[in-house]
Chains A and B, each alone.
Chain A
Amino acid sequence: MKGGSLFKPAILIVGVYLFLKFALPLFTAPLPASLIFLYLALTTTGIVIFATLSGQSTEAFFGPITRFLSGEGLAGGMKTARLLVLVLFPLLVGWQTYSSTAPSEQPPAENRTVHPAPPGEFVGLSNPIPNTPDNVMAGKGLYAAFCSPCHGGNFDGKGMAAKGFNPPPANFSDPTTIAMLQESYLFWRIKKGGVGLSIEGMPWKSAMPRWEVELKDEQIWKIIMGEYDGAHQKPRTWE
């Protein structure tokens, strides 16, 4: 950051933005604007921290900005540029404020609660079915019949009906889903389905059927065993 150059910080911010917005989606799903904003804010914070470590670096970083904004020693094109910035920046802020508050056809961004807390009667339940190969196989059979159309034969959330749902069915092979939960939680979710979600789970965006209508408790417990085994995960326990 020598000689008052703002070139490197500007390149860094633009580079991070381009990477997050365009390069990363080449390999995976696009990032939401909220996450891009967060990472850019961190990048900017880092730049300001590093630039203000010493008096010399602070002057090198803020000096040109201060001189540009105050108009000190500016001539020709830079004068016009300063005028443009002073006019356009407030307009940009105004536009941003307007567009973020104006009525829109788009629903607002949601902060969905993925794992709402289960009701008290489902807390602390343990699987009453012995974990035997026969029971696991029986669970997998039930899973194939009732669950796999959405959650997939490979337990990866890619069943043949999965594309019809938003949000998509859970991917059990992802270590950040059922591996984080106790069996009693799955029992509640399977038994009561989307309509049985607690009030903090609103909006109830879950197409999970209420399986207590079709399945006995014993079958649900077997499905849970089959799910964990098939997805190569273990439930959360305290022993």
Chain B
Amino acid sequence: MLNHGGHPRRIASTGQGRGSWLAGLLVFLAFAGAPLLGLAQDAAGQAGGVAYRDLPAVGSRNIVWVIAQLHLLLAGFVLGVPIFAWICEIVGWKTGEKRYDKLAKEFTKLLTSSYATTALFGGILLFMLIGFYPKLMSYLADIFFPSFVVYCILFLLETATLYLYWYGWDAMQEGGKKKLHLILGFFLNVFAFFIMIVPNSWATFQASPVVLAEGSDMARAWAATWNPTWWPVNIHRLIANVVLGGYICGAYAGIRYLSAKTAEEREHYDWMGYVGNFIGVFGLLPLPFAGYWLMREIYQYNQQMGITLMGGFLSWLFILQAMLIGVLFLGSNYYFWMGITHRIPGSEAKYRKPIMSMLVILLLCLGVWMTPHSLVASLEEARKMGGTHHPLLGVFGVMSAKMTVANLMILVTFMSFIMYWRAGKEETAGWAKVAKAIMSGVLGVAAIVVIVLGVWGYFVPAIIRINYFSVAQVLIVLFVMLTITPLTALLLRSAKTTTEMVWGKMPPRAGYALVLNAVMVILLMTLMGYARSSSRVHWHIYGVMRDSSQYAFSPALGYAAAFMSLCTFLFCMLVAFIFWVATMGDKAKAGESGGKGKLPGAMPAMAGGSQQLDEK
């Protein structure tokens, strides 16, 4: 610490003496304080009824945009990770495989170190909102105060449970204590779920407010909470959090894999990367269904908002969304396929053709998904096409086509996983041929029915397509998953392993693919954050409280894209920093065991970076 204390002095001495250092500090404070002066001045000028405050040069909306997005991303990670950490722990407990318990602990380590930062950003966001939008916040507090109290209680419970869950990990390993630990994990997830859905009610009320009758505070808060988009957003976010958490853990594993020094480390982080990717894909498969339900509810709630999103000026975001989801699907499948060719020696020739077929289907589907209804065309091109709507490919631009290809991509990705699962094994059961024929039949018929419904969807009223055809497509895909997964599990129970899976042999590009997936899902969430917020256009609370600030306009798409990129960059930097701090303990331990110098015993360790915990 003494050494660290001397650091600023050395920096100061490299300047032009103490006087210049102080001058520099004053200049810095002047710059840093200028916005606050502006803020105070703004507030003083309108004492008594301040509706808005602003930060000169930066803009209050921009600040809130970035802080809110970072808070949401961190919260998504913090609420998503406990779900699969707990499931991993259960798997480890049930199967007796210690590696699952170790993995669950490693996931929780990332969680504990991110938790405080999430809360910190939540606090900053709250102060910013109260400062910049006092009138709006007063209105929301008037309606939602009872749920504010519930939220605080939930937060206390979540924090206590998390600390017990993490710090009690090693102490609660055996017998009844392990069961108690699992119960703690269960409650951790229950509280996390409620911590997510309570603030969701505030945000969804802004987008889809309901008429509030007179009544008690509790009754009004409850009525406002139960607004039309609350549950669709809850479900969509719950799944998206799992996807975000899975891919970020995958990226963490990918980076650790790339920097691994020993074969043991490479094996562990290769496996962790696989699990992270699997969790991401597991969440990604139902995510489009949840998104579709949400959009349906928005459209039904308000035609204007639905059209703004899907046909109006925000509709271009959904082309970007298609591209990002497409990259996620491609990246996840690529990782599965590389797993087959690298982890199962000698399997490349066998699986090359099926992989090519899957890749071609994915690319064709993605081509359809990314084709806009109204094309970007020069004047000359538009003349030749007879408008910006292409007479043939324009049909790809509507939901019937998009839903069909999304379902097909989900089917292909699911089959990629099944192929990976079966690779290197030979079924020995007598009924294996029949089972495989049934699986092929189910898959083939399902794909055909999905396509037929998609094409038929153009020739029926929209409500038939939305309420019946699209739902039928989803149910068919779910049926395929629910049929093929147990059948495969049964088949593999008696299967003979022909080639052992070898971990730690993946090429570096596998690690980069995991990082790419994480970046894509973060970008995707920043994109959808902008879409959800902008769909309210010039309303703080849609149709109830108008935005009368100087920022009552929708930012241009290019401007918004820059902010999405900024948020993605900042979040990646934050996560990298948090993980770096969290893994300091590992590095110290590795240094000690390698005999390369010891760290002081009193070295501070963040939650998750405890040496003692890691040593056990």
Contacts and interface: CB of A to CB of B under 8 A. Distances in A.
A50 interface: yes
B383 interface: yes
A106 interface: yes
Contacts of A24: 392
Interface string B297-310: 00010111101100
B462 A29 contact: no
30 contacts: A27-B392, A29-B390, A30-B385, A32-B378, A33-B381, A42-B367, A49-B330, A50-B356, A50-B359, A53-B334, A54-B348, A109-B376, A109-B381, A111-B374, A112-B374, A113-B374, A117-B304, A117-B312, A123-B304, A167-B382, A167-B387, A168-B387, A176-B373, A180-B462, A200-B308, A234-B460, A234-B461, A234-B463, A235-B462, A238-B463
B539 to A, nearest CB: 10
Contacts of A185: 303, 307
B389 interface: yes
Interface in A176-208: 176, 179-180, 182, 184-185, 200
Interface in A38-66: 38-39, 42-43, 45-46, 49-50, 52-58
**Considering residues A32, A46, A120, which has the most beta carbons from chain B within 10 angstroms of its beta carbon?**
A32
Contact of A34 (B377, B383, B389, B391): B377
**Considering residues B380, B386, B459, which has the most beta carbons from chain A within 10 angstroms of its beta carbon?**
B386
Given A53-B337, A54-B341, A117-B308, A167 B388 contact: yes
A140 B328 CA distance: 49
A118 B303 contact: yes
| A-B pairs, 5 with minimum CB distance | A115-B311, A234-B461, A32-B377, A167-B387, A236-B462
Chain A: interface secondary structure? loop
B507 interface: yes
Contact of A28 (B381, B392, B507): B392
A106 to B, nearest CB: 6
Contact of A46 (B304, B360, B397, B461): B360
Nearest to B306: A117
Nearest to A107: B379
Given A43-B363, A185-B303, A30 B381 contact: yes
A184 B393 CA distance: 27
A113 B330 contact: no
Contact of B384 (A29, A42, A184, A200): A29
Interface in B373-416: 373-395, 397-398
Nearest to B467: A238
Given A28-B390, A167-B382, 8 more contacts: A46-B359, A53-B341, A118-B303, A167-B386, A179-B462, A185-B307, A235-B461, A238-B463
Given A38-B370, A56-B348, A239 B463 contact: yes
A219 to B, nearest CB: 23
A175 interface: yes
A49 B359 contact: yes
B374 A106 contact: no
Contacts of B397: 176
B342 interface: yes
B543 A120 contact: yes
B377 A109 contact: yes
Contacts, number: 174
A52 B509 contact: yes
A114 interface: yes
Nearest to A124: B303
A102 interface: no
Contacts of B463: 234, 236-239
Given A29-B390, A109-B376, A237 B461 contact: yes
Contacts of B311: 113-117, 180
Contact of A45 (B363, B375, B378, B388): B363
B507 A118 contact: no
Interface residues of B, number: 64
A31 B393 contact: yes
B378 A115 contact: no
A34 B460 CA distance: 31
Interface in B275-334: 300, 302-305, 307-308, 311-313, 315-316, 330, 334
B355 interface: yes
Nearest to A184: B303
A239 B305 CA distance: 19
B311 to A, nearest CB: 3
Contacts of B384: 29-30
Contact of A107 (B355, B378, B386, B391): B378
A24 B393 CA distance: 11
Contact of B355 (A53, A58, A124, A200): A53
B216 to A, nearest CB: 30
A107 B379 CA distance: 7
A48 to B, nearest CB: 10
Interface in B437-461: 458-461
Contacts of A237: 461-463
B334 A49 contact: yes
Contacts of A32: 375-378, 381-382, 385, 390
B395 A176 contact: yes
B371 interface: yes
A107 to B, nearest CB: 5
B586 to A, nearest CB: 30
Nearest to A106: B378
**Considering residues A27, A106, A120, which has the most beta carbons from chain B within 10 angstroms of its beta carbon?**
A120
Nearest to B457: A175
Nearest to B537: A117
B507 A55 contact: yes
B393 A180 contact: no
Interface in A90-149: 106-120, 123-124
A124 to B, nearest CB: 7
A110 B388 contact: yes
A70 interface: no
Given A53-B355, A167-B388, A182-B303, A110 B462 contact: no
Nearest to A158: B386
Nearest to A179: B462
A225 to B, nearest CB: 14
A46 B315 CA distance: 26
B334 A114 contact: no
Contacts of A235: 461-462
B164 interface: no
A214 B113 CA distance: 68
B472 interface: no
A16 B512 CA distance: 29
Contact of B367 (A39, A49, A114, A118): A39
B251 interface: no
A238 to B, nearest CB: 5
Contacts of A114: 311, 373-374, 388-389
B613 interface: no
Interface in B515-567: 543, 554
Contacts of B307: 115-118, 185
A111 B316 contact: yes
A5 to B, nearest CB: 15
A29 B219 CA distance: 59
A117 B373 CA distance: 16
A35 interface: yes
Nearest to B311: A115
